[in-house]
Structure 1
Amino acid sequence: MRIASALQAGCLSLALAGACVLAPAQAAQAPQRAAHPPGAVVASAHELSTQAGLDILRQGGNAFDAAIAVSATLSVVEPISSGIGGGGFFLLHEAKSGRDVFVDARETAPAAATPAAYLDKNGELDRDRATNGPWSAGIPGLPAALVHLAERYGKLPLRTSLQPAIRIARDGFSVYARLEKGYGSRREVMERYPGTRAVFLADGTPPKAGETLKQPDLARTLELLADKGYDGFYRGEVAKKLLAAVKQEGGQWRAEELSGYQVREREPLRLKYRGWDITTAPPPSSGGVAMAEILQILQGWDLSKLDEAHRVHIVAEAMRRAYRDRTIYLGDPDFVKVPLARLTSADYAAGLRATIHPEKATPSALLSGQPAPLEDDETTHFSIIDAEGNRVSATQTVNLLYGSGMVAPGTGVLLNNEMDDFALRPGTPNAFGVMGFAANAPEPGKRMLSSMTPSFLESKDKVIAVGAPGGSRIITQVLLAVLAYDAGLAPQQVAALPRYHHQWMPDAISAEAGALSAQTVAALQAMGHTVNAGESTWGNLQTVMWDKAANTLSGGTDPRNPVGQAAVLPQP
């Protein structure tokens, strides 16, 4: 949809709460909707990964082959955000069958990782052990996901789809500013480990923007994965090196925990909001449940008739209630009973809606938490639609900047620090301020709760894939994207929108600088809200859209990340 610049400027702030409605360019006869997209579109957080996906599509691959290429290339060029030492979620749509499936490649807890293992001598959470080194790492899931996608859904051999990542790992890529800055913030931890020093201090100095970073060990690991599939990572040479590295640094992994890792295929969560059918992430993601709860609460208001302060107030109150429920109820559905039917029901949302005062903030302390709750911004997301109509929305992570900071020598594999996403000490916030209780306590083989929210939106005329990094703020980023698409904005406008967030605890509205006007901040404070209105930007949203009425493809990549790229490959 084309939007005049003045109208666009007016809608940017209104779309934060879904309040801007754009009229069609003409009221002429509705065009016939296309049956297939006119090509393919890829949006990812790095131009090399976007180009890798397009390259695989040119070779005859489908969206799922392209997803392997994009995912693996991000693992090479964004070690700050994700990697094959981590995990992720892949939401897939098969055009031929019409089937949606959620591929859960979340990391799992080693048997040794009991809650007691993370307490210091005073019984307090040992933050260093929870976030750094081998004890912070779960069993990786991403390599298994790449194999699974190739075997179940792709058209090309795994070796073909992994080739761009192998080449870039071997030949190197140009270090960018975020990579350099992130290393600086984690340098003390990363330089504890000889395997990490061998990669990031290969020339004797830390990575600097503009330098070429080569990862020959990682290239070799990817080649073994390409040649031997699952066994190339979870058994044999790589597995032995991973186990030895963890043991050398004092951790405890078992060979059978590596060789026994399996992805899980789960039924996606489905919901409706106004004219949209939304397909999103089920547990062990908390994202889809929280988003369903928030959107159903918001159904009770016509947001377009509220001023900005009252729109933000209502949305923040809905966020507050959903995040409270995230804390209490959500965990790995293979281990705990998650009350999905209740949490996603319209009746439950109506009850929560009735507790929202239209003029006053509800103190979070008044919402019961007995027992009653941010992967880091450096998670990454990509979105793909191909010419057959297949689509992928995928979010992957190693958790904190550079994960655990530990590279297993001889593998190039940077291990995650996802164990901190468990409730290692019930009621104690993790590194990003999110609490948890028994539902998210670690057990052998259990998957830690996540906020990753890869999603599809579909209306009469549009098909959209969207997702973002940002820890607990992932959910609200995707929520605001839904509201913005409902307001009629285009993908790049959606990716660029200013953001705000509430997560129950701490009891405050967080907002990027400039996201809320001074008058709105003052009005919210008068209602009783604490507003942190000048926070740094967060997230890295990536989204693509097929407009079936116009039969056009478009994408949006977050301008907060200057190396991202959204690109269309026209049908030849």
Structure 2
Amino acid sequence: MLRSTVASVLASLLVAPLLPATATASSAADPPRVPEAVGFGGVVSSVDPDASQIGVDVLRRGGNAVDAAVAVAAALGVTDPFSAGIGGGGFLVHYDARTHRVSTVDGRETAPASADADLFVENGRPIPFAEAMTSGLSVGVPGTPRTWQQALRQWGTWSLDQAVRPAEDLARRGFTVDATFHRQVAANADRFADFTSTSALYLPGGAPPAVGSTFRNPDLADTYRRLRRDGMSAFYRGEVGRDLVAAVRQPPVRPGATREVRSGDLTAADLARYEAPLREPTRVRYRDHDVFGMAPPSSGGTTAGEALNILEATDLGAETPVQYLHRFLEASRLSFADRNRWVGDPAFGDVPTGELLSQRFADSRACLISPTAAMTGAVAPGDPREPTPCGTSGEPAATPYEGTDTTHLTVADRWGNVVAYTLTIEQEGGSGIVVPGRGFLLNNELTDFSFTPVTPGVPDPNLPGPGKRPRSSMTPTIVLQHGKPVLALGSPGGATIITTVLQVLTRRLDRDTPLVEAIAAPRASQRNAADTQAEPAFLAGAEAAALRALGHRFTSTAEIGAVTAVERLPDGRWRAAAETTRRGGGAARAVWPTR
């Protein structure tokens, strides 16, 4: 307690004189992308070098893991705006080194009060996804600003003013456009061009910003300054919120555009009533570890947790590479069957979270796995309330599509506090709508709802409703051993987030693969479908042929996920780890490489 108090006093003394002049990434104009960093004093891992550098600067100046996580998230809203920003939402998992407690913040977007089960139905038929995505209709009430406020209030030592200031400076000063940023604009150029505010920001002169050029976002800088000065009331009850509501209700469509852009029904009252509640995390005991994740409305904690429980009875470290992957894929298939049937917003239905995470239920599902043959097609869910050995209940429910362009950051500080934070605006570029004069994109998160029941005749817990939060696959995860953190991680990737986190966890915990190698390893994602998505490098390996012989079927996809992680080393140092190549490679940083 004394150490924490002294540290807080020192932090407050250090921050005041240093922040205005130096708490930016200006010390390194183009910070490098490095997939691994080891050192003392804390670590940061994100997809972006500027954002990670800002996080390390915060830690170096006395901020804790939450202070740094908010600063990194705000910076990602500048440099990774097509995946995250204040127009979206997310989930934050926090480990408190003083209390040894894991807590979570639910910053998931909510539907307007006027929404009903037919939100995306017209004339008795579901709206085409592409039309729903690029619209005001798909925009949920953003949760990211309230998440920052909640996390700083609960566990931070810096004010919102201090934590957001580095990102404001970055937005005003600008950053160097890389190939990923350019590609993301180019891939969305057709729909960005149909909104006056979006094309003015991201298509200057009618073309995406060139690689190597400097990109500045003064409108976003001004918005951050407004939030710093006036607090989150400016967003949820003030000028920023007023402009947001106007953009949803009357999207700034370019005159002459032929795209049908539906308006949304989000109101100022919807914004004003938004809350980012604290929720109890999910928890499963796996080997000699406690694995904590995000509870519903995220399906990440329950689905990954159930899969780990299914795998518990098998010594994955002693299995052959083929049998390890076979069991990983089959456990994923089963847990997704149960996720699709049972998980939704717990405020709108009885989600059996405890039962889904019980070892008894997992054992009743694990007996369906054969070591010599893969299951074929989609399997039916089990009944977690009345599990029977190898029993199933009802018809299989398919896994609906979710946008893959999310981002994740992971932070640990000198005191041992840890944050795993996944945030998103859903699709790459979200709804495509930049709020005029405010510099940030709005989410299309409501398309994570089922447009109609996924399987006719089967109850669907993920249909839209007033104030309801759509089911998510975000899986920010913290792993403890003997009450102390040993690993924290997460990933973007839509529904593949869950399998990505599960694959890295089992490689690291069961097969003792070094963390960077576990992250870089080729991936496959089975989500209760006839075919398993896999990366080309996975399909080129010898294991893929052996898995096919067991009955697995594969389809190729370019990339799955983009993990960031941290782990505690036995000598007290921290390791930050990120991707080596996916999404251009990640950015790991340590405060002090040596003591």
Regarding TM over 0.5, the answer is yes
How far the C-alpha of 1:304 sits from its partner, in A, is 3.6
- For residue 436 of structure 1, report the CA deviation from its aligned partner: 9.4
**Is 2:472 the counterpart of 1:445?**
no
Aligned to 2:444: 417
Per-residue CA deviation, residues 462-491 of structure 1 (Å, 9 max, x unaligned), is 621111111111111111111122122333
Which of these residues, 566, 570, 577, is aligned with residue 556 of structure 1? 577
Residue 380 to residue 366, structure 1, CA distance change in 2 (3 Å):
closer
TM-score, length of structure 2 as denominator length: 0.85
Q: For residues 127-276 of structure 1, what are the structure 2 equivalents within 5 Å?
A: 127-249=129-251, 250-276=263-289
- Residues in 1 aligned to 2:146 and 2:250: alpha-carbon distance in whole angstroms: 25
The aligned residue for residue 385 of structure 1 is 412
1:489 and 2:502 aligned: no
What's the CA shift for 1:371? 7.2
In the TM superposition, residue 185 of structure 1 has moved relative to its aligned partner by 1.8
2:427 maps to 1:400: yes
Aligned residue for 2:27? none
C-alpha change, 1:61 and 1:304, in structure 2 (3 Å) is closer
2:541 matched to 1:539?
no
- CA distance, structure 2, for counterparts of residue 330 and residue 475 of structure 1: 14
Q: Distance in 2 between matches of 1:541 and 1:518?
A: 21
DSSP-derived class of the 1:128 partner: helix
Instruction: State the Cα deviation string for residues 191-216 of structure 1 (Å, max 9, x = none).
Output: 11111112112344322221222111
Aligned to 1:72: 74
Contact 1:218-1:411 within 8 A present in 2 as well? yes
Compute the displacement of 1:57 (Å). Answer: 1.6
The change in CA–CA distance for 1:436 and 1:409 in structure 2 (over 3 A counts) is farther
Distance 2:129 2:542 in 1: 40
SS in 1 for 2:118: helix
Deviation, 1:308, is 2.8
- Tell me, in whole angstroms, the C-alpha distance in 2 between the residues paired with 1:124 and 1:399: 19
Matches of 1:130 and 1:111 in 2, distance apart? 18
SS at match of 1:285: coil
**Cα distance in 2 between the residues matched to 1:366 and 1:44:** 36
User: Once the 2 structures are TM-superposed, how far is the Cα of residue 437 of structure 1 from its aligned partner?
Assistant: 5.3
- Conservation of the 8 A alpha-carbon contact between 1:76 and 1:165: yes
Sort the Cα spacing of 1:428 and 1:407 in 2 relative to 1 into closer, same or farther, 3 A. Answer: farther
TM-score between both structures, scaled by the size of structure 1: 0.88
Aligned residue for 1:528?
551
Residue pairs, 1:7-46, within 5 angstroms = 38-46=40-48
Give the whole-Å Cα distance in 1 for the aligned partners of 2:96 and 2:275. Answer: 22
* Residues 189, 203 of structure 2: 8 Å contact kept: no
Q: Aligned partners of 1:428 and 1:187: how far apart in 2?
A: 35
CA contact (8 A) 2:337 2:396 kept: no
| 1:365 CA displacement | 4.1
Distance 2:112 2:291 in 1: 34
Instruction: Note the alpha carbon deviations across 1:225-244, whole angstroms, 9 max, x for none.
Output: 11111212112211111111
| TM-aligned CA distance change 1:428 to 1:220, over 3 Å | farther
Provide the rounded CA distance (Å) in 1 between the counterparts of 2:568 and 2:368: 39
Residues 327 and 436 in structure 1, CA contact (< 8 A), matched pair in contact too? no
Partner Cα separation in structure 1 for residue 553 and residue 210 of structure 2: 39
Q: Quick one: distance in 2 between partners of 1:155 and 1:117?
A: 41
Structure 1 pair 524/169, CA: closer, same or farther in 2 (3 Å)? Answer: same
> Could you tell me which amino acid in structure 2 is paired with residue 299 of structure 1?
E
Provide the residue aligned with 1:24 in structure 2: none
Q: CA RMSD in A?
A: 2.1
> Shift in Å at residue 458 of structure 1?
2.2
8 Å contact from structure 1 (residues 423, 437) kept in 2: no
Contact 2:249 2:266 in 1 (8 A): yes
Residues 118, 565 of structure 1: alpha-carbon distance in 2 compared, 3 angstrom cutoff? same
Distance 1:157 1:265, change over 3 A: same
Q: Name the CA distance, whole Å, in 1 between partners of 2:488 and 2:71.
A: 18
Q: How far apart, in 1, do the equivalents of 2:301 and 2:72 lie?
A: 23
Q: Which runs of 5+ in 2 are unaligned?
A: 1-38, 252-262, 382-393
CA distance in 2, matches of 1:455, 1:187: 34
Cα distance between partner residues in 2 of 1:43 and 1:483? 20
Match for 1:550: what amino acid?
A: D
| Aligned counterpart for 2:51 among listed residues 34, 49, 52 | 49
Whole-angstrom CA distance in 1 between matches of 2:351 and 2:107: 19
Separation in structure 2 between the aligned mates of residue 117 and residue 466 of structure 1, nearest angstrom: 34
C-alpha spacing 1:309/1:463, structure 2 compared with 1 (3 Å): closer
Are 1:335 and 2:337 an aligned pair? no
SS of corresponding position for 2:194? coil
Residue 153 of structure 1 aligns with an amino acid whose one-letter code is W
Alpha-carbon distance, 1:340 to partner: 1.4
Amino acid at match of 1:251: G
Distance apart, 1:307 and its partner CA:
2.9
* Alpha carbons 1:125, 1:425 under 8 Å: kept: no
Structure 1 counterpart SS, 2:589 = strand
In the TM superposition, what is the alpha-carbon distance from 1:120 to its structure 2 partner? 3.6
User: Equivalent of 1:291, from 294, 301, 304?
Assistant: 304
| CA shift digits 1:492-546 (9 cap, x unpaired) | 22221211110003x11222122255543333223222122x4312211000111
Aligned mates of 1:77, 1:366 — CA distance in 2: 41
- Residues 447, 488 of structure 1: CA spacing in aligned structure 2 closer, same or farther, 3 A cutoff? same
4+ runs deviating over 4 angstroms:
516-519
1:316 positional shift: 1.1
SS state at 1:514 partner:
helix
Of 267-276 and 295-304, more deviation after overlay is shown by 295-304
Q: Deviations over 1:278-327 (max 9, x none)?
A: 11111111111111111111122223443333322222111111001111
> How far did residue 114 of structure 1 move?
2.9
C-alpha distance after superposition, 1:18-52 (max 9, x if no partner):
xxxxxxxxxxxxxxxxxxx9411110110111111
> 2 CA distance for matches of 1:208 and 1:113?
41
Q: Which amino acid aligns with 2:101?
A: R
Q: 1:366 Cα shift?
A: 4.7
Q: What SS is found at the alignment partner of 1:356?
A: coil
- For residues 122-167 of structure 1, the C-alpha deviation after alignment (integer angstroms, 9 at most, x for no partner) is 5133323421121111110001111222222211121111011101
**Residues in 1 aligned to 2:96 and 2:186: alpha-carbon distance in whole angstroms:** 42
